[in-house]
Structure 1
Amino acid sequence: MIDCNHFVRGLEQAGIGLVTGVPDSLLRNICACITGTLPPERHIIATNEGAAVAMATGHYLATGRPSLVYMQNSGLGNAVNPLVSLADPLVYGIPMVLMIGWRGEVLSTGTQAKDEPQHRKQGLVTLAQLDTLGIPHAVADASTPDIAGVLAGLTADALARPGPVALVMRKDSFAPYAGKPASADHPWPSREDALRTLLGALPPASLIVATTGYASRELFELRRQLGQPHERDFLCVGGMGHASQIAAGIALAKPESLVVCVDGDGAMLMHMGALAISAGCSNLIHIVINNGSHESVGGQPTKAADLNLAKLARSLGYGFAHRAESLEALNALTQRALTCGTSAFVEVMCRTGARGNLGRPDRYPAEAKADFIAAIAKG
């Protein structure tokens, strides 16, 4: 397996200046090493992949040094616009190295590795996408003998083009990295307890759109534990950052229905400008679970740990926007949101952590979609 410290030394040897990107579960060990090794000004966790490409562009303009931009392959779509319209050799020619975690990878046998439904299509088309974009790429795995040499070669290629190149990482490429122990969590409620409280406060007919990650997984299991049907829940197993606009689309089309978006802090920050649209939906309650962490992909911090999201939501147009720091406050604020007569936003402060035996939804997305559509039709 690739030693994480050796990889970081390879970045230094290749002349990489800035490291930025969006965390990925396949890259959690190397991201932890980068966080623990590089000074804060040289490693920035971006709000979305396109923003990371833009940051790398600015860094090159200021220093003449290429950056490493990391992401999961599902985030490649967010990066396409700045890659093509800014960094491409036909435009400004900005050299950078993309490090892409290959979920749903295609094995050397030509078969696809087993993965979650949301990663199947993306895994099949990842290399073809890079080919279509004209981005030269190399694939690395645990047996890659000289990762420092690979990084040096890719960086030289990026400078020579000049433009983006990519390093596509297979699953389990990096050796485990023992980073610094996490600081003690704040005594806020767990995300799962917050979701349980929310389900108890909402009317049974509520339509719930839940964001990517642990929130959707916990919601699915809570429904099962409580003996409740799943038909009124739409779980965003992919499309991180877009739950609020799915909820807004439903709310606008069904003004007589109560629509609830269960969001995460990292997902909300990814496309925060969209909240100005959600804020115009008087039948929408937007619940954001803020634990200051990209928890499901390794626990990397988000900027939300230092922000008051409720104040931001109020400035973006929500008529009702408050923060809850306890289950009692969450229950009370949800009750108030139900009767406020305007768009509502509730920021729920939660600690990190999930059950070790937390499962994943076992219903195929097409089946869940059909049930959700039928539930909307029932009114």
Structure 2
Amino acid sequence: MLKMELLGESLKKIGCFQFSGVPCSYLAPMINYAINIDSFIMSNNEGDAVAIASGISLANYKKSFGVVLMQNSGLSNALSPLTSLNYTFEIPILGFVSLRGERDDKGNNTDEPQHELLGIITDRLLQTCNIAYDFLDRDFNKAKWQLEVAYNCLQQGKSYFFIVKNNTFEKCTLNHYKNIFLKKNINIFQTKDTNSDFLPKRIEVLQYLNHFSKINQIALFATTGKTGRELYEVEDLDNQLYMVGSMGCVSSLALGVALQTSKKVIAIDGDSALLMRLGALSTNAYYASLYNKGNFCHILLDNESHDSTGGQFNLSPNVNFAQVAHFCGYEKVFIVSSFEELEQALCFFNNRNNGGAIFIYIKILKGSKENLGRPRITPREVSLRMANFLHKD
């Protein structure tokens, strides 16, 4: 069996030493090792973990790569970012996925019934998604050679996954755990009397964010759909990334980037997208506070609809996003009821040198710009220039 300390050193040599994921007993030695070296981001679902790992890779373009760990049942959860973020933007990550539901010599399921199907199709899923993969060998010398193959694939901008069978690793004791407890004192909740007359168009807010981020050299990540398309039409800049697909993953991607850079990072989210992956809020808040860099801001534009798919209703009116963010541990929460208040919130964020996550909530009108086009720059070009922007002084 593989000794995790030896494999860990080999992973470091190929720049794969920062992990995110959701625990699995088969991968427990690997996860414990990553936690022991203070290099594991605990995600609430596998799709978010993929997005976080992608942010790590994006911020460290070809120098180091994010590593994602998951059970094969969670692989289905991760298909959205794997196919529409990693593949489309050519952002490579290294993955380790456990093989629950492995068959015995007679073809019988050796695991719990919920792993019946995934035990058969894990490798097929990866193949269908054009993700190169291999079954991780229990022999260290062979595994080390496999890592070199994976590294060459990552250098070409392609993700690589290892399928991990039971008892591949020796046990690794969890001997170090850094934890912080986020303050949830209602008195620090930032709010003013809401001005019901303030209901801007989305593109008006994006124009403001475009200008502010340009003059302050802030990395701006826009959620999929009409938010990214309208931001592109406002002005196409090197510090902007327009998500396509991967609905709900924009804040996780931005968090992965923010933890790797000294630059300020803003994620512009939509209400429908955030509802899809609401668990990301606790991850964002916890790790932004743990790293204490003061460079992560999450802006929510709420129009109570699925605007990009025809304006259907969503369940946003039943959710107080600002309070959810607050009680998840965001350090400051602003409910914006004027452009003056938006400027104050953004200046607070831009002027700080440390601290946790910032959440800015803005209620906006339904609808979008007429004759709205689509970006004429490819996702690969967008990710490449964002990587270059992140490395500029």
Give the TM-score normalised by structure 2.
0.48
- Structure showing greater relative contact order (alpha-carbon pairs closer than 8 Å, 6 or more residues apart): 2
